[in-house]
Every structure is written in C-alpha cells, then in structure tokens.
Structure 1
Amino acid sequence: MQKLYLQISEGIPGLPLAVNRENNIIIRPIKEILPVENKNKALTAYLIDPDFIIKNSEHIISHKLAPGSILLWNPDGDQCSTLRAAGKIPDNLIYQEIHSLADEKQFLRIIRNLYRTLFLENELSRKEESLRIKNKENKELLEVGIALSAERDNDKLLDLILRRIRGITVSDAGSLYLINTDAKTEQKSLLFKIAQNDSNPADFSEFSMPLNKKSIGGYVALTGEVLNIKDAYLIPGNREYSFNKSYDEKTGYRTKSMLTVPMKDHKDTIIGAIQLINRKKNTAARISSKETARKMVLPFNKENESLVLSLASQAAVSLENNMLYQEIENLFEGFVRASVTAIESRDPTTSGHSNRVALYTVGLAEAVNLNNSGIYRNVNFSEEEIKEIRYASLLHDFGKVGVREHVLVKAKKLYPYQLEQIKMRFAYIQKAVELSVMRERFNFLLSEGKEAYSAKIGYFENRVKKRLAEIDNYLTSIITANEPSVMAEASSNLIEKIRLGVWVDQQGTESPLLTDDECMKLRMKKGSLDDGERLEIESHVTHSYQFLRTIPWTKEMKKIPVIAYGHHEKLNGAGYPRSLVEEEIPIQTRMMTIADIYDALTAMDRPYKKAVAKDRALDILKYEVEDNHIDPELLKVFIEAKVFKKTSDS
C-alpha cells in the first residue's frame, strides 16, 4: 500500500505529540512507529523529527507500516531535494508540502483530505491488482481450455486436467474419479483414475471403489455438492462421509485442506469428481509432516471453489468430447474392419493379407523414423501419419469388391467348370472309343466267324488300351498345363497338338479335343489369368481409389486414397494403372508396395502358388530393386530392421 508523505515548513503550535483522537485521526510520535497495528481502522499519522528521518529514512520508508499510514515530516526544501536525489524518497509515494497552518483543526482537515487522496490511490491500486489477478486467471483458463481441447489421448487428458487445476490453485496433491458403468450388469462404481502428489510422488495404478456416500469422492459424485474441508482430520462425526487416513498412515503424508468438486458435462450430468489436497503458500513447499502442513497449508477459499468448478465443467466437456471422438474412431475402425472382412469374404484365399500388409507397412514406417542414415534419415512420420498409412494399407484392396468373384478367386488357368467339361468330354471320348472297337469286334465276329475272332481278341484289346492310354495321357497333360506355374515350350507344343486332334460323336460330327479358348488359356506362359482377366483384376486398384475418394476424410487422413492408389506402380513406370515413375509415387505408397509384394510371396494361403521361404522372398525383392521396380533404400531398411519378422502377435 502507498504511504502519504506530508512536508511541513512551519511548526504547528499546540500540536500534541501524545496520542490525539479526533475525527478518527490518530497522531503518534515517531518513537511509536515500531510496531503499529491500526486495529481501530482510524487514520494514523506519524510526526517525524527532521533529523531523525534524515538519519533513518531508509528504515522508515522500507518498514511495513499499518495500512492507511501517513508520515508527517518537516525538513526544509534542501533536505527534501537531497533525500529525493539520494533515492531516499520513492517517486511513487505521495507527499504534501504545507507552508502554514492556522490551527489544529485546519491541520486535521488537511490530513483528512490527504487521506482521501491516499484512500483513492490505494483503492485504485487494489482494483488494479484484482484486475491483474483476474486477467491472469482468465489467461490461465484460456490456456487450459486450449490445452484440453487439443489433447486426444484420454490418459494424457486426465493427467493434464488434474495437473493444470492443481497448478492454478497451488495444490500439493489431487486425484480424479470417474463414474464407471458396467456394460453387462449396469452396476455403477467410482473409478479412481489418476492421482498426483508433489510432496510424495509414487507410482499409481487405477482401481475401482464402491459408489456411495461414505467416501468424500463418492459423496460429491452422487450429490453434486462441493466439499470444502479446512482439515480432513476434523470432519464432524455426524457427516455421511469420512476421510480415509490409510494413505497418510502408510506414507507419513499429512492431508489437511481438501476441495472436492463434481465434474458435470454439458447436460449437467455428473461424470466424476476432482479432489484437490493441501493448498500451499507457495508451489515449492513440500508437505512431509503435520508440522509442515500446519505452516504451509492454506484452506481453499470461495474463489478457489468457483475457479475449480469452472475448470471441472470444462474438463468434463473435454473428456466427453474425447470419449465421443474415441467412439467415432472406434466406429471408423469397425467400418475399416468390416470392409476388410467384406474383401476377404469374396476372396478367402487371401484372408489376412490386408492386415499383414498394414502390419509390415506400419512397421517399415516406424523403422524409417528410427533410421539415421540414407536419403530417408530426415523423414519422420507423425502419429497421425502412421495411422493414415495403416488405414490406407488395410483398405488398399477394397476395390476387389468390384471384380467378378469367379475372376477374383480363379486359381488355375481354366475355371473349374471348364476343366470339368474337358474331363467329361474325354470320358465320353473314351466310351466312344470302347464302343467303336466293340462294334468292330462284333462286325468281325459276324463276318469272319468265331474261330477267326478268337485269334484277333488280343489285337482288339490292345487297340482299346492304346487308345484309352493316349486319351489319359492327353488329359493328364491338360491337368498339368492347367497349373499356373511357368510353362515349358514342350508342354505348350503338346497342348497345341491335342487341340489339333479330333473326335467323332454318335452323329458322326467331328469336334476338336480342345477348343481354341481352352487351348489359349492352357498355353499361357505363367499365372492363371488371361489378358482380359488380368485387366479386370488390375482394375481393383482404380475401384479402390474411386471408393476411397468418396469418403469425407479428415485433414489427417486425406492422403489415404492416393497412398492406396499407387501400390502396384513401379519406379520405372512399368506398373499399373497409371504407369507412374519414381518422383510421382509417395514414400508411403513405396513402403506399401514392398509390404504387398513380400506378403504375396510368403503367404501360405494362395492356392495358385506355393509359399516362398522368407530368404527367397527377400532375394526376389532384391531382383525387383535391380529391375528398378521398388525403392532400394526402403528395402534396405525393411531388411535391416527385420520388419519382415513382424507378426500380429508382435
């Protein structure tokens, strides 16, 4: 508080140096300056001897006088200037110079007017200080609000809520409770989620406790009342709640002042409670005993209650928003999982492929983050970017829902029904051969007689066996050629030879042993798809992109369609569907390409090919690098970080 200095040039006859009480003004001699407590709230003025103030000015000016004090002194002008120049009189202190006084009443009136000036100055100062404190609180509230709205991790959010509220109220310790409802029984309990203690930091594990009025937290969570307790050890016995001393007894801590407030959401529903313990005189204080608690702990005041209630409601809304955000994430995760299930239900032979590709791609992205060498040493994927990569990987094959199922699951060169037709055709041909030879035998018997026929039986039987064996060999060659493995030139020529063969039905109509379409499919060099089917399968990439781009992705996920779109592109432009070159392919897509190829090579569930050993698969990927199909630096990280060893269990 400011002090008012009154400079008197002339003496004041009759002014008593003893205590003078008039109009609530007390005049004291300087010898009574230490100490003075102005308990009667009267104006206290001190008459100061000039020589004394010159000798002791620093002590007097710096001494903490009673609120509303006035110092009267009467040095000459030179003395005043000397003191001010020497810094003895602070510039912000008010003083008044009086040259003459008619009588004591006039003197008292002047003092009273000066006191009003002092009072207004002090009131202004008090208002300014109050405004400064409020502005500081508002700034802190704003900062807390921004911080709470930005945090998406629930555990981090709860920790942040309690830490910020403790910081603003200078609380030594605190805890946060949430009301938990069992999904099956709908039984409610109080979940002790988090605890913090500056004086006695220790590891904490959340636990559940009954939701009733016996505990302080339970009482507040059920009633919505604010409990402001000056001393937890002095709670009256007639209260429904009580203080649990077990923590103090176990650790030696001393709980004293407590403030427990409900957390209410925007619907005014109580979702939990915040409990603050031991408001301190300063942040650095540590409460280690009953004595330190007595010295350093303050009770929580009404302003604390109001502030914490406001913050608790803000925290409750933030927590509810976070839970809603988490529910939306869970909903989206469920949608992605359902989409993957839909893909794999149409193509059971690739079951698990999308999940494994996501696992490998995310693993590679995390390995890139840890990599300190090569061209990608400065690349660092954020948590949101990792999530974006994962979803793009899970959904990269979703476009397969737009591919005809029989093409999608085609495991051999011929469709099952086509091979079955050939088998039935050849079985018919065999029966026709047997019937034809049987007719020959019957006609020979009729024309040549029994004796000649008996001599020719062996000839007829050998002829049948030879023809049937030839047909069996043809069918075996067809079945072998139907496999999607690399076809040898000799095998291809044999299929062409079979195509040129004919058979005659009962009506005498000649037909080829194989149709042109069957022959074309069987003579494919490798794989199970012809050109048209391959284009249809390849169209799944475009279908995936068209589907994914219709989803209104958030800013953090907006690259998902583009990342998935390029997973069959090659660095040299030989990929599909857009023949992109290296500079046009995002790094996220390049990582997915490596993961996709590796899983396709090592998958155990592909009926059209055998799984390749891991070492062999890595060798094939190295050949892909030599052909400038995949990124060499990313493959190096993939191998060195042993990303390929990742499994769903890891």
Structure 2
Amino acid sequence: MSQDQDAIGSEDDRRDHPFGRRAGEKMVHRLVELGIALSAEKNHDRLMEMILLEAKSIYNADGGTLYLVTEDETGLSFQIMRNDTLNIAMGGTTGKKIPFPPVPLYRPDGSKNMNNVASAVYHQATASNIADAYEAEEFDFSGTKKFDETTGYRSCSFLTVPMINTAREVIGVLQLINARDMGGTTIPFETSMQAMIEALTSQAAVALENQMLIQQQRALWNSLIEMIAASIDDKSPYTGGHCQRVPEITKLLAEAACEAEYGIFKGFDLNEDQWYELHVAAWLHDCGKVTTPEYVVDKASKLETIYNRIHEVRTRFEVLRRDAEIDCLKRKLAGEDPDTCDRDFQFACDKLQEEYHFVATANVGGEFMDDEDIVRLKEIGAQTWTRHFDKAMGLSPVEALRVKQNPPPPPPATEPLLGDLPEHLVDQYNQGELYNLSIRRGTLTAEEREKINDHIVVTIKMLEQLPFPKKMKRVPEYAGGHHEKMDGTGYPRGLKKSDMSIPARIMAIADIFEALTAADRPYKKAKTISESLKIMKFMCQDQHIDADLFDLFLKSGVWQRYADEFLDPSQIDPVSIDDYLPNPELLASKEAAE
C-alpha cells in the first residue's frame, strides 16, 4: 500500500466515510425521501422543525436556527432554535417562545444590514460558510461572542443558507452552527456537502411556501366567512351575534360527542379536515339570510314594514276623535243640551281610547289572538273616516305604478279605519292592516314566515354552488340541516333522523339553544336556562331534536359552559339536569339512559 493510499484508507473505507461516495448516494436517496415527506407535512411547525433537524443531521451540527422573513419584510424572525450541547429547544412544536427580536434587514437609515450574516445572506441570496466566527472579519459576531461568554459555549463554524422560493424570493434563512466529526469535535462545514444543504433548503422553501400559501388562503377564507356572518348579524340589530354564537355551541357539543364512547357516539370522531368542515358549515349556516328583507327579519310588530304603521292607525283614531269633538260643538250650536252633548262626546272618546288600546296591544303580538279577538278587530276596523287628500300624489315610481293598476277613489272618500286595500298587496306580501293585526301568534304573516324559512333553501343553494374541495363536500349538508326535525316535519327537505349525520343534528340543537337564550330578539324576552331546557325537552319528546344529542348536551355540561361565557347572569338560574333529561325510551343507547 502506498503512502497516499495509507493516508486516505482503503476504497471501502472511503465509501463509508461520512462524506464518501456511499454516503453521498445515501444522502441523495435521503433527500428524495425528505422531499416527499416535506410535501406531505401539513403542520407548519412540524415542517419547519423537519427542515432544521434534517439539515443538522446531514452535517451532524450541534445547533441551528431557522428564520422566516417577517410579514412587513423588515426582519428575520426566529422560528426554530436547537442546540444539543446547551439543551436548547425553542419554537415550533415545543411551545416555548423564542425571546429574541427579529434580526433587522435594514439599518435605521434604510440601507441594507450587511453586518449580520443572516441578513447579509438574505440580501445576497447566497450561502455563507464561515470556518471560525472568531476569525471572521466581514460580519459582526459580537452578539454571538457575548452569548458564548454568558453560557460558556464556543460558537465556531457557521453555515447560513437562504431559502429561495419558486419566484426567486428569499422567504427565510437556515443557519447551522458547529459541524462535528464522528468523534464530536467541532469542524468547519464541509464545502462538498454544501450543495446538499442548498438542495434541501430549496425543497424546503417550496414546501414551506406552498404551506404558507395554503395558510394564507385559509386565513382569507376564514375572514370571508366571518365577514359574511358578521354582515348578516349586522344586517339586523335584533339578531346580532347569532351567526357567531352558533359555532361556539356546535364546537362544544361536537367535542363532547367525540369524547363520548357509547351508543351512537362510539367510534364517532372528527379529524382535522372534518373539524374545519363543521367549522365552516356552522359559520355559514344562515348565509341565505342575505336575501331576506330587513323589515321581515326585524319585524317587531304586526304592522311593521319599513316603519311601524301603528302611527298611521293612531292618526285615524285622532281624526275620529276630532270628528266627534266637531260633532259635539255643532250640536251645541244647533241648540242641543250641552250636558248631553258633552256626555256623548266623552263616551265616544272613551270608546275610541279603549278600541285603540286593543288595536295597539294586538300590534305588539305578545299574546295569542283567538277568534273573538279577530272578530272584534274587524268590528273596530269597519268604522269609517273621510279622506280629503289624493292618495296618488307624492309616491315613488313603483308605488305610483301599483296605484295606477288599482286607482283609489278620488277625495273626499270614505275608508275603513283598518283596511285591507289593493295597495297593501306588494309582490308576495300582503301588508293589509287587518290581515296583519289578525296574526294569531307572533308578528309574522304566513308569507313572511315562509320567506324567513326560505333562507335555508337559499343557504343550501349558495353553498352548493361553491366549488368546495372533496374534504369539505358536506358543508351544505351540515349548514342546510339545522331546521330539519327528527320526525321528518322540518324544512326544507323534510329529512328524518336516519337521513342526517351527527354533525347536522348537532347544528340543529346549537341553533335552537342559541335562539332560545338570545337576548337580542325583538319579539320575545330572553329566556332563562331552565325555560330554554324545558322547551327543548318538549322538542325532544316530539322528536324534533335528537334525544341522544340532547342527553349529551345536558350531561356533558355544554349548556353550562356556553351560558357562563355568553349569557347574562340573570338568565342563569338554578338547574337540575335530571328534570330535563329525555325519556330513556327515546335514547338509542342504554349507556345514555344509565
């Protein structure tokens, strides 16, 4: 064996050397596998850790840092830090925040910061390989030296590589510290292996860029759906927050269902994509309300359209009272007994006051209207008054067109005190005064209620038109099922329990509980917890909501956690869930009954 051969060892030895041919072949194979792994990793923190740890492993480096360019592109923020000797592991999946500020990319005067090796690599988009930081003169390592004095560490070799994306933009910097040989001695970073690290960072930059783009797209999508939900809530001051609170209840109940291991919940679980699918559905469950007219959504009294028409009705009562007063005065002038005239006038006033009180009370819609009430409304409404001014003047073009199709009689004209007149028929709505005042319960007519119910049809239509990816295909189903009932009497599709998934049934309960406890509805007082749970128990018995889910809703304490965070303390009254649990025969599982 020659002296040269003896110095470098045998061919087999050279193949097994960390930087020999055999190791190089293994490294290429490893880079291919790593590229596949990088493209498959979905977790941002794990991806960054994978990049840094693989780079450390290739060079057997003692430490390393991964930086990303800040959003404003003025600095390099610390993302991952590792150092074996000092037992440092910060950032990423560790949950430990890195306490250091970003490395500035520019000086106060706006010039490029070329003193720091990481920022210089960013600006030059070229790797830097430093054998010994203590001998390097082109960069300022004073901070590194100060760190070494504090810790007793010795920072020596540095390899700093830019992470360049497909647009040839530097999105981050990878820095390795102190390469080590097989015996653990610090050595310079082998230049022959630098191409491997650069190839790795190139792959990593593309993978990281793709993931950041996905994250940005998701952030944009989340902002859009929350903006839509907020717009719907803002559209009506009476339902503000509904679209934002329903997702909270949905999440709490879905978590409880995932944790339960009995009955219909055995084996039920949601992966990351399915959780996001449910999240989107919950936020968009009422997106169809964008087409519902405000006056229908906000209709707080029976005569309300754009404004409350009780003011018009009250003016007519004022006219009748004035007519009664004029009639009294005319009778006195004609020589009739003044006392008799005054008594008749007072009787007319008292009667009008009582009748107006009845009409105004009916307009509020707080009490059930029976047949006798409706008959009395018609009797009151049949009274007449005389109109002396032209109804066809001062109208908008649309109103004028409707009046032209059904011209009113010219003044003076006798009209009913409460009327169902031709001009009250507007599109699909009947705005007739008697028609609306005769609503038996609540403030909505049949066609207005149908229009509000129609929002779920519009929701499904809107969502089905969106090109959801395969993993989000059930968003329309989840969002569109929250008004279905377990017995098939719900809307819009009349689905039964067997037709609905657990997430869709969860959303139905979330929507109902939020609506019952909401304090921002114009047509009802906010209900207490006990009142709400009592109503939901009846709904359970009538098979309108899922009994197993309502049982879980009670036993898991979802109602309590939501109430503590979102309800007014006055609504949270003492509750024993045993009073509201579904009848055992309604449950699909024995474990729930026990």
TM-score bucket (shorter structure): 0.7 to 0.9
Partner of 2:551: 636
Structure-2 separation of matches of 1:178 and 1:405: 47
Counterparts in 2 of 1:336 and 1:216: CA distance versus 1, 3 Å? same
**8 A contact 2:300–2:443 mirrored in 1:** yes
Which residue of the partner structure matches residue 432 of structure 1? 323
The yes-or-no answer on 1:218 pairing with 2:119 is yes
1:267 paired residue number: 167
**Secondary structure of the corresponding residue to residue 271 of structure 1:** strand
**Which residue in the other structure is 1:460 paired with?**
341
Distance 1:67 1:428, change over 3 A: closer
Specify which of 493, 505, 511 is matched with residue 578 of structure 1: 493
**Structure 2 stretches of 5 or more lacking a match?**
91-96, 106-112, 388-410, 421-431, 567-594
The correspondence of residues 228-247 of structure 1 with structure 2, limited to 5 A, is 228-233=129-134, 235-236=135-136, 238-242=137-141, 244-247=144-147
Deviates more, 1:208-217 or 1:188-197: 208-217
Tell me the equivalent position of 1:348. Answer: 237
Higher mean C-alpha deviation, range 579-588 or range 267-276: 267-276
- 2:63: which partner in 1? 173
Of residues 392, 403, 414 in structure 1, which corresponds to 2:303? 414
Asked if structure 2 preserves the Cα contact closer than 8 Å seen for 1:412 and 1:484, the reply is yes
1:489 aligns with 2:388: no
C-alpha displacement at 1:481, in angstroms? 1.2
Q: Secondary structure at the match of 1:375?
A: helix
* Map 1:300-339 → 2, pairs under 5 A: 300-339=189-228
Q: How far apart, CA to CA, are the structure 2 residues paired with 1:40 and 1:353? A: 81
Where do residues 50-199 of structure 1 align in structure 2 (5 Å cutoff)?
133-180=23-70, 182=72, 188-199=74-85
Q: Following the alignment from structure 2 to structure 1, what is the Cα–Cα distance between the partners of residues 130 and 528?
A: 70
Residue 564 of structure 1 deviates from its aligned partner by: 1.1
Match of 1:566 among 448, 464, 481: 481
SS at structure 1 position matched to 2:443: coil
- Give the letter for the 1:198 counterpart: D
Q: Kindly tell me: are residues 323 and 124 of structure 1, through their superposed partners in 2, closer, same or farther at Cα, counting changes over 3 Å?
A: closer
The 5 A counterparts of 1:499-518 are: 499=380, 501-503=382-384, 505=386, 512-515=416-419, 517-518=432-433
Which residue in the other structure is 1:449 paired with? none
The corresponding residue for 2:277 is 388
Deviation of 1:40 after TM superposition, in Å, equals: 5.4
Secondary structure of 2:364's counterpart equals coil
3-state SS, counterpart of residue 177 of structure 2 = strand
Aligned match of 1:209: 103
Q: Hey, what's the Cα distance between the residues in 1 that align with 2:242 and 2:372?
A: 33
% identical equivalent positions: 32
Q: After TM superposition, where is structure 1 displaced by more than 6 Å over at least 4 residues in a row?
A: 122-127, 506-510, 647-650
Q: Distance in 1 between matches of 2:81 and 2:484?
A: 52
Native 8 Å contact 2:230 2:244 kept in 1: no
**Does 2:464 correspond to 1:549?**
yes
Q: Distance in 2 between matches of 1:549 and 1:649?
A: 33
Structure 2 distance, partners of 1:323, 1:481, is: 59
1:105 corresponds in structure 2 to none
Report the Cα offset of residue 616 of structure 1: 1.8
Per-residue CA deviations over 1:273-296 (Å, capped at 9, x if unaligned) read 1111233345xx8xxxxxxxxx53
Q: CA deviation at 1:419?
A: 2.3
Q: 1:481·1:491 contact (CA, 8 Å) conserved in 2?
A: no
Show CA shifts across 1:266-325 (max 9, x none): 23222321111233345xx8xxxxxxxxx5334321232111111112222222222222
Partners of 1:648 and 1:229 in 2: CA distance: 59
Aligned match of 1:528? 443
* Alignment gaps of 5+ in structure 1: 1-36, 43-64, 69-118, 286-294, 446-452
User: Which residue of structure 1 aligns with residue 149 of structure 2?
Assistant: 249
Mapped contact 2:67–2:76 kept (Cα < 8 A)? yes
Query: Structure 1 residue 646 and structure 2 residue 531: aligned?
Result: no
Give the Cα separation in 1 of the matches to 2:14 and 2:179. 29
1:66: Cα distance to partner?
9.5
| Paired residue secondary structure (2:115) | coil
Q: Which amino acid aligns with 1:222?
A: H
Q: Which residue of 1 aligns with 2:3?
A: 39
Query: How many residues are aligned here?
Result: 512
Q: Which has the larger radius of gyration?
A: 1
Q: Measure, in 1, the Cα distance between the counterparts of 2:71 and 2:502.
A: 45
Tell me: CA distance 1:259–1:126, structure 2 relative to 1, closer, same or farther (3 Å): closer
Cα gap change, 1:487 to 1:647, in 2 (>3 Å)? closer
TM-superposition CA deviations, 1:76-101 (whole Å, max 9, x none): xxxxxxxxxxxxxxxxxxxxxxxxxx
Distance 1:466 1:304 in 2: 107
Does structure 2 conserve the Cα–Cα contact (< 8 Å) formed by 1:498 and 1:513? Answer: no
**Residue aligned with 1:245, SS:** helix
Mapping for residues 467-478 of structure 1, pairs under 5 Å = 467-478=348-359
Shift of 1:195: 0.3
Q: Which structure is higher in RCO with an 8 Å CA cutoff and minimum separation 6?
A: 2
- Does the 8 A contact of 2:385 with 2:417 survive in 1? no
